[in-house]
Amino acid sequence: MSEHSGHAIAERVQGIVDDHAEMEGPLLPILHAIQDEFGHVPEEAVRPIAAALNISRAEVHGVISFYHDFHTEPRGRHIVKICRSEACQARGGQSIEDKARELLRLNWNETTPDGSVTLEPVYCLGLCTSGPSALIDDRPVAKLSGEKLAALVKELD
């Protein structure tokens, strides 16, 4: 993450690219490996990836920006994803969204100043019959209420 210097990032990115050199269609596995390593895909990673794969930097950026699971900035230690699908909206999802933003004092895709929590929208968690729902640090939470969300957010401290 931010504790990595530019040289350290470049060195590690090159190692990851080298690890995937023999793979067919390596871009997504490389991006996943880089995000696993740094918690995001740093800008410094784009040029060596593009050079190694003989594609343009715009193509690498295009893939990063297309997939919502790739992030170009460090995220919080905890990730709170609130489902914004129509099914969750029909079950009171808007009030959960409002409560999440109020509790965390964040808007979508923002991280608390201390880096503890990032709030993100998600557009279906497959819990449509028991919404509104959320994903908190990869743990699905169904039948979410404002009180339940407040208790879960408090546990993140």
Cα–Cα distance, 106 to 118 (Å, whole number): 8
Residues annotated within the binding site are 83, 88, 124, 128
Residues annotated within the binding site for [2Fe-2S] cluster are 83, 88, 124, 128
Phi, psi of 55 (to 5 degrees): -130, 170
Phi, psi of 102 (to 5 degrees): -65, -50
Q: Are strands 78-83 and 134-136 parallel, antiparallel or unpaired?
A: antiparallel
Q: Which two tokens stand for residue 144?
A: 């979410």
Spell 38-68 as b/e; 16+ CB within 10 A means b.
bbbbbebbbebbbebbeeeeeebeebbeeee
